[in-house]
Amino acid sequence: MSLKLAKQLSKSSVISLSRHFTNGPRLPTKLLHAKPGFVPKYVSADEALAMVNSDSDIYVGNHASAPNVLLEALCRRVDSANLNNIRMSHLILSGNCPQFDPKYHGKIQNNSLFICPGNRKNVNLGAADYTPIFLSEVPSLYTSGTLNVDFALITVSPPDELGFCTLGVDIDTTLAAATSAKKIIALVNSTMPRTRGHTTVHSSHFAAMVQTDRPIAFRQSGGEEMSETEQRIGKIIAENLVDNGATLQLGIGAIPDSALAAMKQHKDLGVHTEMFSDGVIDLIDRGIINNQKKAFMPGKTVSSFAFGTKEFYKKIDNNPEFYFAPCDFTNHIDIVRRNSKMTSINSAIEIDLTGQIVSDSIGRNFFSGFGGQVDFMAASPHGFDGLGKAIIALPSRTTKGQTKIVPFLTQGSGVVTTRAHARYIVTEHGIANLWGKSIRQRAYELIQISHPDDREALEKAAFDRFKVMPSA
């Protein structure tokens, strides 16, 4: 090989790597390397939490990685030492979370960055906080010091012979919070899968380690039963908006699950998402999701967290097909845009006739959070290949028979996805494409996919509001 050719190849490799990884987040590596001269020790949960005192900021690992054993010990510590002014931050927590009990109001203040069912009542009673934020920006809350972390309570897979653990099925915000924490207390769970990707942490960084064999939170086999309406919506999405070779992002809920279930005739799908569950595994086992057509990280299912059945966790354990990374990587706009035929599928609670989308609240009551919806709604249509799609899906009516497509948003409801971000809106009655449409045209498109019994009233309401009859 000539020197000139070698230089050209070297330059080409640098360009190729930079094309993949420049303009993206710089992932933290502090916890990847062993801490010289420090050997962590196993202690009981009560011994570990004895180091927590009043006026402490605590980060709690999320989803299936919620360190319930440590949370129970923390509450015992609060009781025995009469602690107060304990400030917690977290996303969705699964399993037993005693800190949500009203007896701890005034002692433990929970700050939900995405509201979980256990803390929803507290938030709406003013006994807990809710911070609206894009999922892609949550890690920077910790790395910037905007949210202080005195203690990070996390769950990890058991260390290998060199002392390396993984963050298991929940990397999203945990890596940033743990890296920023003054002390890390790790719950070493024998049931936590060992995951691949940017998930490795060395146990020498742990101030204390606590062992448990309690199963991590999991879905029951079969999952939630999908309604006929949800199945219809999933079929419409799969048959009309998901191309062969598409890269998928899937939000949380029955509708994204129903869309996956309707893709059994597709070919060469890929996944780049913030989360995934059993529906993805089913399509992998069928050879439908193979990640072979992905322009970015081909061959890998990329996600920041996962939640599924016990069989699901067995499938991803130490499996190099799955790449887990923090959510400021998975949801970063420049990373998302590199994927081919990037197709995001998310759900909503309500939409008005102008295209404003409500996803985190029901009227004046807060319900969930922003999550990654806006991250992907903003990025997917602007994929570098020009073939991306952003989809919002919702039933046309609530279970009580009220329309979800409304002239005005319910008082108190908050907009998560703006009318300028709105693209494809899907109900069981069809698809409305709002991009480039005027308010008059949007109202017409949305009325066409509303429940037939609501269309006349919506037309009248649209005329009253816009002073013009909706039309194509």
Catalytic residues: 274
Quote the Cα angle for 344-345-346, to 5°.
Answer: 120
If phi over 0 gives left and psi between -120 and 50 gives alpha, with beta otherwise, what is residue 412?
left
User: What span, in angstroms and rounded, lies between the C-alpha atoms of 63 and 97?
Assistant: 12
Are 301 and 276 in contact by the 8 Å Cβ rule? The answer is: yes
* Whole-Å CA distances, 248 to 225, 284, 289: 22, 13, 10
**Which tokens belong to 135?**
């999922």
In sequence order, what are the residues at sequence separation of 6 or more whose Cβ sits closer than 8 angstroms to the Cβ of residue 384?
A: 295, 337, 338
Rounded (10°) CA dihedral 405, 411, 414, 420: 50
β-partners of residue 289 are 269
CA-closest candidate to residue 363, choices 412, 396, 407, 328:
412
Q: Which two tokens stand for residue 33?
A: 């390397």
Q: Which residues pair with 470 in a beta bridge?
A: none
- Count of beta carbons in the 10 Å neighbourhood of residue 429: 19
- The token duo for 89 is 């931050």
Cα distance between residue 265 and residue 244, in whole Å: 9
Quote the distance between the C-alpha of residue 399 and its chain's center: 25
